[in-house]
Structure 1
Amino acid sequence: MTNTTADVSASGHTEVTAHRDKIPVLRKFIYGLGALVNNLLGAAIGGMVIVLNLGLAMNPALVGLVSALPRLTDALTDPLMGYISDNTKTKWGRRRPYIFCGAIVAGLVYALIWQLPREQSEMFYFWFFLIGSLFFYLAYTVFATPYIALGYELTPDYHERTRLMAVQNFMGQMAYLLAPWFLWFMQNDNLFDDMIQGAGWLAIIIGAFTIFVGILPAIFLKEPNLAILDKPAKTDTETFSPGIKGFFKGFAETLKNKPFLCLCGATFLVFNGFMMVSSFQFYVIIYYVFAGDTNLGSEYAGWAGTLSAFSTFCVIFITAKLSTMFGKRRAFFIAIGLSIVGYALKWFCYTPDNPWLILIPVPFIAFGLGGLFTLMGSMIADVCDVDELKTFARREGMFGSIYWWVVKLGMAVALAAGGFILTATGFDVALAGEQTSTTITLMRIADAGIPLICSIIAIGLIVIYPIDEKTARQVRNQLEMRRGKV
């Protein structure tokens, strides 16, 4: 029985994943369960907030405000939690205590904030949900930030990191198959008296799932030996002391890390280029392909969404294989290149002459987000190695928290910009299927062109990203020599 796994790279030579670097399938699955919990919480609170409007008749503006305000705190709490996690020392490790406690508190608070009292004023519900959400997002951060950081350090192997992130991304995507059914569940007359009662029970189910599944990574996954990671610098290289000064110094150092900024920029462009026009395809399908027929357009859009979900599951593992064969940078070029083909195909396949052609671009476009989040986590782990070589510190928490904060901030900006772009096309809902030809053309250009251009620029950023497989292995060897490991 061999103790290594061989991967053939693009250059034809064999790279070996040592047995000690491999993560057993069961542990990958357990880490993936954490992603399911993480994504489920994010999707649930976003999908269930409609209850405040439809069930409690809150003003939509207040609903939007109460949804957005708690997320602004992430700008501080995410990096702060990353810093705290990076600098924690317990016999259970740096990450696991926070993952364990964060899952329990997040699950409890989420269940409680949806037990909405009846017959209260609009402002009562606003403050009740705002205060509850602040506590929830704080507990959510305590769970999610160390959980993400844990994934970056579970293995030092260049390719095994990508395999782990593929499993994580695959299982995390399952949350988005469940989330569309939440509204159906909450307003089901056969189960509940009204939507408010349905939301209360759904929150209890999600909260219990968060508690009992979210603690599993903390129980069953092992962190690396911290004694070999905290070796003090013997030169004039950077070091980070604990405390407020250390937090700001580490934060600034992270933002100066050029490879990391390349990854953040590429993610911002690919993800938010897609999100900026995420609703455009529905408008183009309904008002161009089906001349304003909302029912028929929604049906075809639903089929496209279903195909997209299943395509993404397949893309995740295709991307992991491409990374093994060609390296992460080339895999990124291939995946995003295929998504660019998909965006370009929209111009030709979204046609009234044959509506079923709208399905053709879908599998290509799936390579965008499916490939992006499979590769980015693995590449950030490589950046953390390069950072340790310079700073003598492991700062996965800081890197992960800033990366995901950039994603969340960019998504908020993209969704807001999408509304302005739609308005700029001249779209008028009162015209129904009688939109002007100029409006239709501008909508189609935005739908296909914005994510296409963003993706091309993202490829340019990864062209200058300096860490390839050879570099990553050299950095690892230097780190292990410095730590005294064989």
Structure 2
Amino acid sequence: MQPVAFQDRLAGLGLAIYAAPAFSLAALSVPLYLYLPTIYADDFGLGLAEVGAVLLIARLADALTDPVAGLLADRWPRRKPWLLLSLGPMAMAIWALFAPSGPVSAASLLGWSLLLYLGWTGFSVPYLAWGADLNQAYHGRTRVAGAREAAVLAGTLVAAATPALLGLSGPAALRFLGIVILVGLIPTVLLACARLPEPRPVAPPPLAPKQAWALLRNNAPFRRLLGAYGLNGIANGLPATLFLSFISDRIGAPTLAGPALALYFCAGLAGVPSWLWLSRRLGKHRAWRLGLLGACCAFLPAPFLGAGDTAGFLLLCLATGLMVGADLVLPPAMQADVIEADSHAGGGARAGLYFALWGMATKASLALAVGLAFPLLDWAGYVPGTPNAPETRALALLYGAAPLLFKLAAWGLMRGYALDEAALAALRPPPGDLTCPAAGFSPPPPPSSLAPSLCSQDAAR
């Protein structure tokens, strides 16, 4: 398909319209993952074990829907109908979960959670793929991702800080956030669908499953990027999972959690323009590698922080917040480049599938972070709620030292990344030319019926 790119004079308005729904989607993640489990267990009386089991089932089912959503989004490549189709169930589930009007049970929690995750995945995959469609320029994709992830940071900050500022807690806070999310999400989605361009719907030519898998397997930039993204996701997931325990039991300042989170997200939002600037001058993958090293440097003092080191911890939040913009903005922009390269190699238009695999990697890395952290802390004898105990040393190492290993592994994996601006330009043949070099690809021979539409490697090179 041939996406309709933003005109330069409309870039600011168009980017803002596209990014606006991401604000509410990010605001949704905060109460869903932080508030809802505790409120349903304590205030609604379901119990921790029951709530944990229900949400585990819902999240496992959610992970399975990503590839299905990606394949459907590519098979019927109109983005707007998928967004509108998913919006209704998602809105119904948000209201039912955040402001329940009747008795609450495990069955109702499971049913509405499944509907919410289904709608959220059905919305997110085509929404991300739409961002890749809207601008095909190498740096234009970074601007699209930057605008979207800036809205994500802003939405997360608002959802995390507003209930405390208004003195809301428990079910009242959950209901308030549900209203804010719906009031923001519905009109911004409708506005985006009404005002933004959409690619002409051209379904990709069908590929046999064996060949489709071979194209993915032989896509070297995709393998490197997905591997590095997963490793970095574990690195970011460990401190996110252990944040409250670290600040409460290691630093001994649980009341500092709110201000520290606000500082972190404000720094992340402020740092996005700098990463956009660096990506234009260094290239996306070089700028991201710089961000990975910067985050490692920022985390170096973390294992050595102890009781009362509140100033040091706030400086840590500031420094790591400035680095997180690179993680949020640059990998998704590179993913859009990988999708174009896949099209030239014979994959057709498969943005939905690629972003679905991206979503699965995100969920898997977060799950692995939890799966690593909690058993290791239990093995080390750490008991939550025991400030300054000797076992908090293991907490400090997992919070501050383990992420360095994963980030350095991601940094090393991206060293050989070949799909920069020049390589991507070389993949685009001039009109009438059906051959081009393929940076990092070794695609299998395509079926003869697809040969006229491919950009394959020149065997003579």
- Counterpart of 1:277 in 2: which secondary structure? helix
Q: Say if 2:20 is the partner of 1:30.
A: no
The residue aligned with 2:63 is 75
The residue aligned with 1:5 is none
CA change 1:160–1:280 in 2 (3 A) is same
Contact 2:6 2:135 in 1 (8 A): no
Match of 1:384 among 320, 323, 339: 339
CA change 1:479–1:64 in 2 (3 A) is farther
The residue aligned with 2:299 is 343
Q: How far, CA to CA, are the matches of 1:386 and 1:218 in structure 2?
A: 27
CA change 1:163–1:53 in 2 (3 A) is same
The normalised TM-score by structure 1 is: 0.80
Structure 1 residue 426: Cα displacement? 2.3
Q: How far, CA to CA, are the matches of 1:171 and 1:478 in structure 2?
A: 36
Q: How far, CA to CA, are the matches of 2:82 and 2:69 in structure 1?
A: 9
The aligned runs of 1:29-68 (5 Å cut-off) are 29-46=16-33, 47-68=35-56
The residue aligned with 1:465 is 417
Structure 1 residue 445: Cα displacement? 2.5
The residue aligned with 1:212 is 187
CA change 1:353–1:61 in 2 (3 A) is closer
Q: Which amino acid aligns with 2:181?
A: I
Q: How far, CA to CA, are the matches of 1:388 and 1:273 in structure 2?
A: 31
Match of 2:275 among 319, 336, 339: 319
Structure 1 residue 274: Cα displacement? 2.1
Q: Which amino acid aligns with 2:199?
A: P
Q: How far, CA to CA, are the matches of 1:360 and 1:272 in structure 2?
A: 22
Contact 1:156 1:476 in 2 (8 A): no
The residue aligned with 1:154 is 134
**RMSD of equivalent CA atoms:** 3.0
CA change 1:394–1:209 in 2 (3 A) is same
The residue aligned with 2:93 is 109
Q: How many residues align?
A: 431
Match of 2:255 among 299, 302, 315: 299
Structure 1 residue 464: Cα displacement? 2.0
Q: How far, CA to CA, are the matches of 1:270 and 1:54 in structure 2?
A: 34
CA change 1:390–1:34 in 2 (3 A) is same
The aligned runs of 1:160-179 (5 Å cut-off) are 160-179=140-159
Q: How far, CA to CA, are the matches of 1:87 and 1:56 in structure 2?
A: 42
Contact 1:186 1:202 in 2 (8 A): no
Contact 2:212 2:347 in 1 (8 A): no
* Partner deviation per Cα, 1:343-392 (whole Å, 9 max, x = no partner): 113245x2557541222333332244321120011101110111011115
CA change 1:26–1:251 in 2 (3 A) is farther
Q: How far, CA to CA, are the matches of 1:408 and 1:480 in structure 2?
A: 42
* Partner deviation per Cα, 1:379-422 (whole Å, 9 max, x = no partner): 01110111011115111100001101110122122123221222
Contact 1:240 1:250 in 2 (8 A): no
The residue aligned with 2:437 is none
Structure 1 residue 114: Cα displacement? 4.2
CA change 1:316–1:255 in 2 (3 A) is farther
Contact 2:264 2:321 in 1 (8 A): yes
Q: Which runs of 5+ in 1 are unaligned?
A: 1-17, 190-194, 231-238
Q: How far, CA to CA, are the matches of 1:182 and 1:353 in structure 2?
A: 27
* Partner deviation per Cα, 1:81-125 (whole Å, 9 max, x = no partner): 111111216xxxx111111221233112321344535456xxxx1
CA change 1:282–1:480 in 2 (3 A) is farther
Structure 1 residue 21: Cα displacement? 7.0
Contact 2:215 2:347 in 1 (8 A): no
Match of 1:398 among 353, 356, 361: 353
The residue aligned with 2:313 is 358
The percentage of counterpart residues that share the same residue type is: 22
- Counterpart of 1:222 in 2: which secondary structure? coil
The residue aligned with 1:99 is 83
Contact 1:254 1:398 in 2 (8 A): no
The residue aligned with 2:230 is 268
CA change 1:249–1:42 in 2 (3 A) is farther
- Counterpart of 1:73 in 2: which secondary structure? helix
Q: How far, CA to CA, are the matches of 1:172 and 1:363 in structure 2?
A: 18
Contact 2:288 2:331 in 1 (8 A): no
- Counterpart of 2:381 in 1: which secondary structure? coil
CA change 1:34–1:325 in 2 (3 A) is same
Q: How far, CA to CA, are the matches of 1:179 and 1:368 in structure 2?
A: 21
Contact 1:103 1:215 in 2 (8 A): no
Q: How far, CA to CA, are the matches of 2:145 and 2:167 in structure 1?
A: 36
- Counterpart of 2:301 in 1: which secondary structure? helix
Contact 1:28 1:164 in 2 (8 A): yes
Q: How far, CA to CA, are the matches of 1:280 and 1:43 in structure 2?
A: 16
| Larger mean Cα displacement after TM superposition, 465-474 or 203-212 | 203-212
Q: Which amino acid aligns with 2:184?
A: F
- Counterpart of 1:223 in 2: which secondary structure? coil
The residue aligned with 2:383 is 428
The normalised TM-score by structure 2 is: 0.84
Contact 1:339 1:365 in 2 (8 A): yes
| Larger mean Cα displacement after TM superposition, 453-462 or 353-362 | 353-362
| Larger mean Cα displacement after TM superposition, 385-394 or 209-218 | 209-218
The residue aligned with 1:15 is none
Q: How far, CA to CA, are the matches of 2:95 and 2:386 in structure 1?
A: 43
Q: How far, CA to CA, are the matches of 2:393 and 2:64 in structure 1?
A: 42
Q: Say if 2:365 is the partner of 1:410.
A: yes
Q: Which runs of 5+ in 2 are unaligned?
A: 435-452, 455-461
Contact 1:104 1:215 in 2 (8 A): no
Contact 1:158 1:469 in 2 (8 A): yes
Q: How far, CA to CA, are the matches of 1:300 and 1:109 in structure 2?
A: 33
| Larger mean Cα displacement after TM superposition, 38-47 or 264-273 | 38-47
Q: Which amino acid aligns with 1:65?
A: A
* Partner deviation per Cα, 1:17-46 (whole Å, 9 max, x = no partner): x98578611110011112123223333322
Contact 2:245 2:384 in 1 (8 A): no
